Amino acid sequence: MEKKIGEVTVELYQGDITQLEVDAIVNAANNQLWMGAGVAGAIKRKGGKIIEDEAVAQGPIPIGEAVVTTAGKLPAKYVVHAAGMGGDLRTDAHKVQQSTQNSLLRAEEKKLSSIAFPAIGTGVGGLSYNECARTMLEAVVIHISRATSLNRIIFALFGSDAYQAFQEELERY
């Protein structure tokens, strides 16, 4: 599914974020920036340890912040590490909103035109798909209501439950 909001196309994609050919993919990170399981583990496995090494060298960062690294062997150019949780590996809507906003700001700083997000905080973080979709899409809509270099924002969702939650929320816009 895709929807044009202003000048930006927001797309839903059910599948592996590491396969997307975009300017940047977002890693659902912890504030220490080490890459363990879930999306982070997949990014590290497919892109190489260089991604984690570059991230950890910039950390730790405040929860809600984001940093940029190269993307190693991935088709994307960059990985934006969005610290949606701390060492306790728990999150909430506010932390996800902040990490989404800061990921979009890092994309702007690099003048990127496309970025792909996972459903931040829905794995080990414990956030529901519905709350995540509402929070992340709200942050995106607020961001793209201003001038932006981005023209394509993708939500790469793993599984039909995540896809359905984001689809229901995106249809509201």
Check residue 89 and give its pLDDT: 82
Straight-line distance from the first to the last Cα atom of the chain, in angstroms, rounded to the nearest whole number: 13
Check residue 38 and give its pLDDT: 86
Check residue 25 and give its pLDDT: 98
Contacts of residue 140, Cβ cutoff 8 Å, sequence gap at least 6: 5, 10, 100, 104, 153
Residues of the chain scoring pLDDT < 70 = none
Give residue-wise pLDDT tens across range 40-73: 999 999 999 999 999 999 999 999 999 999 999 9
Q: Domains of the chain (ranges plus CATH)? A: 2-170 (3.40.220.10)
Check residue 118 and give its pLDDT: 98
Check residue 37 and give its pLDDT: 85
State if pTM tops 0.95.
yes
- The side-by-side arrangement of strands in the sheet containing 114-117 is 2-5, 8-14, 152-157, 114-117, 24-30, 78-85, 66-70
